[in-house]
Amino acid sequence: MRTISVIKYACTVVGLGMLFVAFLFYANTQDFLKSALTTSGTVVELVPSRSFDSTTYSPVVEFKAQGGTLIKFTSSSGSNPPSYSKGEVVEIFYQKSSPEQAKINDFFSLWAGSIFFGALGSVFFIVGFSIILFVNLKGKKIEYLKKNGVPIKAKFQSVEINYSLTVNGRNPYQICVQWKNPATSELHIFNSENIWFDPTDHINNEEITVLIEKKNPKKYYIDTSFLPKIAG
């Protein structure tokens, strides 16, 4: 289905984009630390920031830069409960050319951007890439069975709705057939690939061709080439 194709590539591209942003945050922080000056500052205030149903507190720090200039800045990261208390002395990193953009020597304060975009980007990329990998492997399996599979005739049983998969509020259909292996007398139940329309009215035969791997009937493909194609 076209929607799944869009989702897999969109997730992969968005994930890669976020991972690139995470790398930029990491590189910028590394460059900042290489040339940064260090000093001590004092937490003079805790600024509350409300987001959705929670409130976080960001420390406001005051310190003297090189030359004696008094600088006050608000940390870009907040927490609840507060990570710092008023009057607490903290280590500061700052650039001589822009001391107002100082940062507290704290792991989260320094690396929050890299962590956030890295984690979110990894999730998107893994989801998208996993779908691409799954679809490609499934496609190769189908192509292999089309070329090398042993054709058998299985008895049509029913058309079922696959409730385990939902895309845009829709569930695909599957054709269900049965075949009794004459060599082992075992009954095999086969389900077709997902079909995004109800195929019931297009099934005119009691038997449907299934391509199975010669030594392993659990690997199979139901031939649905007799069904009409969805207009693109």
Q: Which domain holds residue 207?
A: 149-222
Tell me if 110 is assigned to some domain.
yes
76 and 159 both lie in a single domain: no
106 and 212 both lie in a single domain: no
Tell me if 138 is assigned to some domain.
no
Stronger pLDDT, 39 or 54, i.e. the higher one: 39
Compute the half-sphere exposure of residue 78: CA atoms within 13 Å on the CB side of its CA.
16
- pTM > 0.75: yes or no: no
The yes-or-no verdict on residue 1 having pLDDT over 90 is no
Stronger pLDDT, 53 or 1, i.e. the higher one: 53
Stronger pLDDT, 181 or 3, i.e. the higher one: 181
215 and 111 both lie in a single domain: no
13 and 110 both lie in a single domain: yes
109 and 167 both lie in a single domain: no
16 and 106 both lie in a single domain: yes
- β-partners of residue 188 are 179
108 and 6 both lie in a single domain: yes
For the chain, the average pLDDT equals: 92
pLDDT at residue 159, as a whole number: 96
110 and 154 both lie in a single domain: no
Percent of the chain with pLDDT over 90: 79
In the structure, what pLDDT confidence band is assigned to residue 2 with cuts at 50, 70 and 90?
low
Give residue-wise pLDDT tens across range 54-89.
899 999 999 999 989 999 999 988 888 899 999 999
pLDDT at residue 94, as a whole number: 96
The yes-or-no verdict on residue 198 having pLDDT over 80 is yes
Give residue-wise pLDDT tens across range 95-148.
999 999 999 999 988 999 999 999 999 999 999 999 899 989 989 999 999 999
155 and 94 both lie in a single domain: no
CA distances from 203 to 21, 159, 190, 196, 228 (A): 52, 10, 16, 15, 11
153 and 49 both lie in a single domain: no
Tell me if 175 is assigned to some domain.
yes
99 and 155 both lie in a single domain: no
In the structure, what pLDDT confidence band is assigned to residue 172 with cuts at 50, 70 and 90?
very high
175 and 95 both lie in a single domain: no
CA distance linking residue 14 with residue 10, whole number of Å: 6
Q: Which amino acid is at 97?
A: S
In the structure, what pLDDT confidence band is assigned to residue 215 with cuts at 50, 70 and 90?
confident
Task: Classify 40 as helix, strand or coil.
Answer: strand
CA distance linking residue 173 with residue 62, whole number of Å: 65
pLDDT at residue 77, as a whole number: 86
